[in-house]
Amino acid sequence: MRRLSPVAVVALLVILAWAVAAILAPLIAPFPPGRIVTRDTLADISARFPLGSDYLGRDMLSRVLHGARYTMGIALVSTTLACLMGVTLGLTAAARGGWFDMTASRILDAMISVPSLLAALVVVSSLGSSIPVLIGAAAVIYTPGAYRLSRAVAVNIAAMDFVTVARARGEGTLYIIAAEILPNMILPVLTDFGLRFVFVVLLLTGMSFLGLGIQPPAADWGTLVRENIEGLSYGAPAVIMPALAIATLTISVNALIDRIPGAGQGDSR
């Protein structure tokens, strides 16, 4: 493995920092996220409130730390589900071909042609907005992209001579997938996972910003921006900080992917 570039190292550190913050939020947050701790609403940065206070006078640092749990947790679960389903379907389609490949490709390609935010809105209009619904919706919305990528990569590998040799040897489909194809897919699939993670974060925060995502009292970073939006006119940290949190996370993931040697940028959403 080649040495990572300085940009990639910084990006990796930012991602790790947010991950640690999300995991340890209950331990390191100075206040419970829902408690009103000051009368000074939308306050500026101070020693007591390092990220200021929100529109009700709650501590922003505590709310951003707890918000990381929602934003990152939901995105991680959704992305993992989407990639698992996508890779499984993609590998099966590539290995089996025939009617399965045809049907799966047609349906999943049709799903890609529904813009993601639109799809999320349709689901929420019917099922209402709750964390399981959001996770399920995001997972299903991003499965087709993961499917398309893994199928394309797997089809390319399956056409290589070493797979033909394995087939001529008499190997079964499972062995060919597990031992010959999968090990060569790790890098593109990981890259795709990162891209999809960013998409899910953007989708979730966007939904929350519209008021159709995470519902109060729970609050992800998108909700935090929404509920403090009135502070925008004078640049209150309560609206800037969660926005910065989103941007640092997504830019870091994208920058890291961009610096991985040999990893192509996927273009399917």
Partner 1 sequence: MSAHVSVSGLRVTVAAAEGGRAAIVDDVGFAIARGEVLALIGESGSGKTTIALAMMGYARQGCRIDGGQIRIGETDVLALSAAGLAGLRGGRVAYIPQSAAAAFNPAQRLMTQVTESARIHGLLDRAAAERKAIELFRALALPEPETLGERFPHQVSGGQLQRITAAMALISDPDLVILDEPTTALDVTTQIEVLRAFKSVVRERNTTAIYVSHDLAVVAQMADRIVVLRHGKMQEEAPTAQLLAAPAHPYTRALLAAFNPPVRAPDAPPEAAPLLEVRGLVAGYGPAGRDGMPALPVLHDVGFTIPRGSVLGVIGESGCGKSTLARVIAGLLPAARGNVKLDGAELPARVADRTRDQLRRVQIVFQSADTALNPARSVRDILARPLAFYHGLKGDAARKRVDALLDMVRLPASLAERPPGALSGGQKQRVNFARALAAEPELILCDEVTSALDAVVGAAVLDLLGELKRELGLSYLFISHDLSTVRSICDQVMILYFGRRLEYARSGAMLVRPMHPYSDLLIASVPEMRTGWLEGAAPAHEATVVRNAAGCTFAPRCAAAVPGLCDSTPPPLRQLSKGAEILCHLDEATLRHTQPDDRKTP
Partner 2 sequence: MNAAMLRLIALRLALGLLTLAIVSALVFTATELLPGDVAEALLGQSATPQAVAGLRAALHLDQPAWKRFLIWAGGMLSGDPGRSLVNQLPVASLIGNRLPNSLKLAGLTACVTVPLALTLGITTAMWRGSRYDRIVATLIIGIVSVPEFLIASLAVMIFAVKLRWLPALAFRAGVQDFWTMLWLLAMPIGTLTLVGIGQMARMTRAALVTVLASSYIEMARLKGAGPIRIVLIHALPNALGPIVNAVALSTSFLLGGVIIVETIFNYPGLAKLMVDAVSTRDLPLVQACAMLFCGAYLSLVLIADVVAILANPRLRQR
Using CB under 8 A as the criterion, which residues of the chain lie in contact with partner 1 when the complex forms?
A: 160-162, 164-165, 167-171, 179-180, 183-184
Q: How far is the CB of 186 from partner 1 (least distance, A)?
A: 8
Shortest CB 140 distance to partner 2, Å: 9
Give start and end residues of each alpha helix (H) in 97-210: 98-112, 116-127, 131-158, 161-169, 173-175, 186-209
14 or 190: CB nearest partner 2:
14
CA distances (Å), origin 252, targets 32, 149, 244: 28, 22, 12
Residue 212 interacts, among partner 2, partner 1, none and using kind-specific CB cut-offs from 5 to 8 Å, with partner 2
Binding partner selected for residue 118 from partner 1, partner 2, none, CB under the kind-specific 5 to 8 Å limit: partner 2
Q: How far is the CB of 247 from partner 1 (least distance, A)?
A: 35
Closer Cβ to partner 2, 161 or 267, answer by number: 267
| The two structure tokens encoding residue 225 | 């921006």
- Give dist(CA 242, CA 235) in Å, integer: 12
Give how far Cα 177 sits from Cα of 90, 164, 165, 246, Å. 11, 12, 14, 37
User: To 5 degrees, how large is the angle CA 110–CA 113–CA 115?
Assistant: 135
Please report whether residue 174 would count as binding partner 2 according to CB under 8 A: no
Q: Which of 79, 116, 150, 191 binds partner 2 (CB under 8 A)?
A: 116
Most distant CA pair in the chain: distance in Å?
A: 76
- Please tell me the distance from the alpha carbon of residue 41 to that of residue 38, in angstroms, as a whole number: 7
Minimum distance, C-beta of residue 218 to partner 1, in the bound complex (Å): 43
Q: Estimate the share of the chain in helix, then strand, then coil, as percent rounded to the nearest 5.
A: 75, 0, 25
Tell whether residue 251 is a contact of partner 2 (CB under 8 A).
Answer: yes
Residue 209, binding choice from partner 1, partner 2, none, Cβ under 5 to 8 Å by partner class: partner 2
Q: Which two tokens stand for residue 242?
A: 């969660």
Residues lying near partner 2 in the complex (CB under 8 A): 106-107, 109-111, 113-119, 121-128, 198, 202, 205-206, 209-212, 222, 225, 229, 232-233, 235, 239, 243, 246-247, 250-251, 253-255, 258, 265, 267, 269
